[in-house]
Amino acid sequence: MKIYTKTGDKGTTALFGGTRVPKHHIRIESYGTVDELNSYIGLIRDQSINENYKTLLITIQDRLFTLGAMLATPMEKKILKNGKERLNIPKISEENITVLEDAIDQMNDELPPMTHFVLPGGHQTVSFCHIARCVCRRAERLATALNDIEPVEPQVLTYLNRLSDYLFVLARKLTHDLKADEVKWIPEKQ
All structural domains of the chain with their residue ranges: 19-72+92-177
Contact 67, 156 (CB under 8 A): yes
Contact 63, 159 (CB under 8 A): yes
More confident residue, 14 or 85: 85
DSSP β-ladder status, 20-22 and 12-14: antiparallel
Q: What is the pLDDT of residues 157-188, one digit of tens each?
A: 999 999 999 999 999 999 999 998 887 787 78
Q: What is the pLDDT of residues 32-79, one digit of tens each?
A: 999 999 999 999 999 999 999 999 999 999 999 999 999 988 766 666
Residue 179 identity (one-letter amino acid):
K
Dihedral of the CA atoms 169, 26, 68, 165 (nearest 10)? 10
Q: CB-hemisphere CA count at 13 Å for 42?
A: 11
Task: Provide the residue count of the chain.
Answer: 190
- The confidence score (pLDDT) of residue 23 equals 64
* pTM over cut 0.85: yes
What are φ and ψ of residue 174, in 5° steps? -65, -35
Question: Among 20-24, 31-35, 119-123, which range has the highest average pLDDT?
Answer: 31-35
Kindly write down the DSSP assignment for every residue of 84-124, as one continuous string. Answer: -BS--SPPP-HHHHHHHHHHHHHHHHTSPPP-S-B-S-SSH
CA-based nearest residue to 156, from 110, 89, 76, 93: 93
Burial 31-68 (b: 16+ CB within 10 A, else e): bbbbeebbebbeebbebebeeebeebbeebeebbebbb
Residue 8 identity (one-letter amino acid):
G
* Domain range 19-72+92-177, CATH class: mainly alpha
